[in-house]
Structure 1
Amino acid sequence: MARLRAAAALPLILALLTALATITLPAAKAHAADAPTVTLSAPQAGKGGDITVSGKGWRPNTLLAMLVCGQSDLARGVIGGTNSCANADGRAVTTDAKGAFSKKMPVSEPPKPCPCVVHVATVTGQAVAKDAVFKVAGHPTAPLPSATTGGKLSVLAAPRLEGSSGILTWFGAPPTRKLVFTAGNLGSAPLKDPVFQLATTHGVFAPNWEEQQWHGTIAPGGKAEIRLDVQLAAGTHGDYQVALKYGSTVVIEEPWGVGRPWGVTFFWILLCLVVPTAVFRIGMAIVDRVRPKGAGRHRTGRLAELTVKLPKFRVPEKAKARDQRRPAPLAPSPEATSTTTVLPWFTPDTAPSETHPTTKGNT
């Protein structure tokens, strides 16, 4: 009886499995079709030529950077980071609404030897990168550096930036920090002197990866605290992001807000006030030195010499001669100018009379 029930249920089970396979396969195909791809118009070209780079499956309306990089392969990616790429001749392109793009870019020799790739990566948003094998004709070729095998590094604790800005940073010195994190070895072999790639990004600019080697050994299943130096250029300020990559995987992205160096601003304001004042004082000293002697020179603090001296007025010779020929004015008569004089021993009533004596007739 049980066998009959199993035989009756077998067609139903097969039908369910067929339906699941029918649903899953289109979804897997759609996911594979949505994966970003990069296609080149030619597998190789020489320096000075150009190729057309096309792609599909990228995020819509996303800014991408295209670079020709050396010391790279599809398995390990760009080993030296952007230091292995021809950054000066790179190109930027924005995907359309369907996530596709196509743009022509010049061919240039990267700073590292081939094998080479055309590296396409997102500039903003989630980090996505894709490479396409490319050969730069005439560029030297060298084997890739040996890869570290056996060990597997993983970040166990939340990373942090240690350090603070001092008075020198306030006046434009390069800001520095320590990137501190705890790393563990999840592999079966020890990790000895691992090499990391560190970069700082600001805005939409692509990261410039630099190699930093940590000296030490992490045993299998062990962990260690790793401290790496991070430094920005002098006078920088704004919102930065510190990224750490081990191999081809970005393991840390930590924000870093850098304050404005107000000391530099204060210095320029002070310079704009001091320099004009000094130039004015120097100019006044030169004018005072070249000025003729006696032409109104004075010393500070002596008020008597600050008075204005008027030139003497001279009468012309013709006016003098005319005045000499002019007759002298008549002197006023004594009678007109005389006044009654009262002697102290006379009173006004007894003062002698000023009337003239009467004239007598002929005797």
Structure 2
Amino acid sequence: MAAAVLVLFMVPFSGAASGADGPVVKLSETQAGTGGSVTVSGTGWRSRTLLMLLVCGRATPARGVIGGTNSCANGDGRAVTTDAQGAFSRRLPVAEPPVPCPCVVHVATVTGARAEADAVLQVAGHPVAPLPAGQSMGRLAILSDTRLTGSSGVLTWFGAPPSRTLVFTVGNTGTSTIKDPVFQVGSAHGVFAPQWDDRQWQGTLAPGKKAEVRLPVELSAGAHGDYTVSLKYDGKILAAQPWGVGRPWGVTLFWILLCVVVPAALFRIGMAVVDRVRPRRPGSPRLTRALRLPRLPNPRGRTTEPAPTNPALPWFAPDSVPGDPAGRLSAPHTDSPTSPTTPTRKGRT
């Protein structure tokens, strides 16, 4: 009897524990037509987390949304923020997705660690088509947190493309072997949509096995700011990793130096041109050097010193400088036989 009572008490607690293993989504109605609405509620989410609610086609809770958000009615989606206990409730209008049903209400986190959940919804009047056959029965799941490894070099400081390596551990939770899976790595800046690039991992993953995957990630040249690196496989986003990229200060330093050096060089060139084209005044050092005659070489190989020049007084002729043997101490005069001042000597007649 006591054992039976203990089992009755354990059953509710075990059900609550299983529901708390992950996020849960519930709908007020499982079938609705276009133009109507359903109330979407959920529990087990992170507190104060922004969620996106979408009606998606070609999807089941077991396989997820095949084709990603391209299979959803994105224009009629709604956003909601969870409360302190990780619960929410939001009215969602029913719209026809761009692909046939089976359909689900897809709830996923917008920021932070990736988390998602689906609830089956039958859209009345919308066509239904079988799901495409999967390439294999293998299924990959993330078993560890993703991380970005590597560092920026000197060239990145001058605007080279920043690059990292996305490292994570995946496990094959399916029933068949997965060989050379192709992942999609996307990088988004701020609130913009990510740009996806295919990255193939070379390897084979048997059922129940796990492996570490390393995929290269590269941004555009000169990129800086807050980025989000997302990982997608088989149309389903598996993880998202934030990446803060520093500003390339080398480019800024280059432009500062360019704005200082170029005007200084132009100023020097302009001053040199002005110095050459402006007319020269007589007696300027450059004109004196230009008019100076070159010294002729001495044919005998002797060096001659310039003879001292005696300044001639204005009342002396050049050939009658005082001190010269032929010079006179008086002013020059004319010697003629008929000069009245010259005495004449008479002889006997």
TM-score relative to the length of structure 2: 0.55
CA distance in 2 between counterparts of 1:55 and 1:159 reads 29
Q: Say if 1:67 and 1:85, in contact at 8 Å, map to a contact too.
A: yes
2:31 to 25, 43, 54: 43
1:24 and 2:10 are equivalent in the alignment? yes
Shift of 1:86: 4.8
| Partner amino acid, structure 2, of 1:214 | W
Is the aligned partner of 1:194 residue 2:181? yes
Deviations 1:283-321 (A, max 9, x none): xx9xxxxxxxxxxxxx8345989xxxxxxxxxxxxxxxx
Q: 1:79 aligns with which of 66, 74, 95?
A: 66
The answer for the alignment partner of 1:231 in structure 2 is 218
Contact 2:138 2:176 in 1 (8 A): yes
CA contact (8 A) 1:185 1:218 kept: yes
- Which runs of 5 or more structure 2 residues have no equivalent in the other structure? 282-349
How big is the shift at 1:182? Answer: 6.5
Question: Secondary structure of 1:230's match?
Answer: strand
CA contact (8 A) 1:237 1:261 kept: yes
Q: CA deviation at 1:96?
A: 4.0
1:300: which partner in 2?
274
3-state SS of 1:300 partner? helix
Note closer, same or farther for the CA distance 1:274–1:41 as it changes in structure 2 (3 Å cut).
Answer: farther
The alignment's C-alpha RMSD in Å is 4.9
Letter in 2 for 1:107: A
1:69 is the counterpart of 2:43: no
The amino acid of 1:38's aligned partner reads: K
Structure 2 vs 1, CA of residues 221 and 72 (structure 1 numbering), >3 Å: closer, same or farther?
Answer: closer
Aligned positions, number: 270
Contact preservation (8 Å) 2:156, 2:162: yes
144, 167, 172: which one pairs with 2:131?
Answer: 144
Distance 1:208 1:139 in 2: 31
Distance 1:32 1:55 in 2: 18
Q: Any idea what the Cα deviations from partners look like across 1:218-252, whole Å, max 9, x if unmatched?
A: 45687766443323355443455545455698766
Tell which deviates more after alignment, 125-134 or 199-208: 199-208
Q: Work out whether residues 82 and 208 of structure 1, in 8 Å CA contact, stay in contact via their aligned partners in 2.
A: no
Q: SS in structure 2 opposite 1:147? A: coil
1:259 aligns with 2:246: yes
Q: Check conservation: 1:123, 1:205, Cα contact below 8 A.
A: no
Counterparts in 2 of 1:219 and 1:92: CA distance versus 1, 3 Å: closer
Supply the AA of the counterpart residue of 2:49: T
* Cα drift, residue 55 of structure 1: 0.7
1:163/1:133 CA distance change after superposition, 3 Å: same
Moved more, 112-121 or 222-231: 222-231
In the alignment, the residues of structure 2 paired with residue 182 and residue 173 of structure 1 have an alpha-carbon distance, to the nearest angstrom, of 29
Give 3-state SS (helix, strand or coil) of 1:101's partner: strand
Q: Given that residues 169 and 175 in structure 1 are in contact (C-alpha distance below 8 angstroms), is that contact kept between their aligned partners in structure 2?
A: yes
Specify the code of the residue in structure 1 equivalent to 2:40: S
- % identical aligned pairs: 53
State the Cα distance separating 1:76 from its structure 2 match: 0.9
Q: Distance in 2 between matches of 1:164 and 1:97?
A: 37
- The amino acid that maps onto 1:43 is Q
CA contact (8 A) 2:67 2:235 kept: no
Q: Which amino acid letter does the alignment assign opposite residue 27 of structure 2?
A: T
**CA distance in 1 between partners of 2:31 and 2:84 (Å):** 28
Q: TM-score, normalised by structure 1?
A: 0.53
The 1:154–1:170 alpha-carbon spacing in structure 2 relative to 1, beyond 3 Å, is same
Q: Which residue of 2 aligns with 1:214?
A: 201
Amino acid paired to 1:100: F
Check the 8 A contact 2:106/2:119 in 1, yes or no: yes
